[in-house]
Amino acid sequence: LLSMPRDWDLFCLPTPLLLFIGISTTVQLKGLKKWIGPALGLFILGFSIHFVNSNQFALGKRYETMGKYVFKTYWINAADLIQAGIKLQSQGAEDQDLQWQNTIAELKRYAITGHDAEYAELLNEAGFYFERSVNNLVEAKNYFNEALKYDAQSKRAYMGLTECSLQLEQSEEAYDYSKKLLEWRFPTLEKSLRINLQCALDAKEYTDALTLTQSYLKLIPQDTFIRIIERRLIHHESVDSLKFMFAQTPEKN
């Protein structure tokens, strides 16, 4: 159980028995002096929990430390804890950069190349941090590409690579990455079609773009925005400007 600090249901199994033993022991105590020791011990234990959980930085440090421990032992959900911990510590951008780099370097020796979705997710979180918070797209792409070395089917890595490539005006790359999102229907079929369509227009793959609009309209025929794009593609009306009808990046997930 010590390797599963997030499985609260398992941790709670001994609680009724421990409560029963604690109450049985306490009621046998007679005299005020005999109560002082247990009461002081319970106060110290309870106060330490309050002290950590009521302090944002301390709680963030606890999450980060627990996430690293989970990664080395139980493995599941480690990335979520580490990400939450780093965010809660509310450090400046430079400190967070260093913290992500140190965390990834520290845990790398525990990761399994080609078979480690959790480490890949940790790299993805670092990638999205560098993309969306720091706007360092090149560094973000490095993290997403590194994530694929540990999980070749990482959907979020392909989402990140699509976003970064589109913003870096690497149109063909973005289009290729977005094809994988459509293949997986990630994050949904509707969104993956729109992302793939946006990338196709940016890459000037207008024949593919027309096919995508038709596939999308079969799914959602009432979407007037996509219907306008379809009409302009059919009639070759200023097709080069169609990409500007979309936002700069695909819908973020």
So what's the pLDDT on residue 88?
86
In which band, very low, low, confident or very high, does the pLDDT at 248 lie, cut at 50, 70 and 90? very low
pLDDT of residue 250 exceeding 60, the answer is no
pLDDT of residue 5 exceeding 50, the answer is yes
Alpha-carbon separation of residue 243 from 110, 150, 166, 176, 209 (angstroms): 43, 33, 11, 16, 11
- For residues 217-239, average pLDDT: 96
Domain ranges of the chain: 57-153
**Cβ count within 10 A of residue 73:** 13
Which tens digits make up the pLDDT trace of 101-154?
Answer: 999 999 999 999 999 999 999 999 999 999 999 999 999 999 999 999 999 999
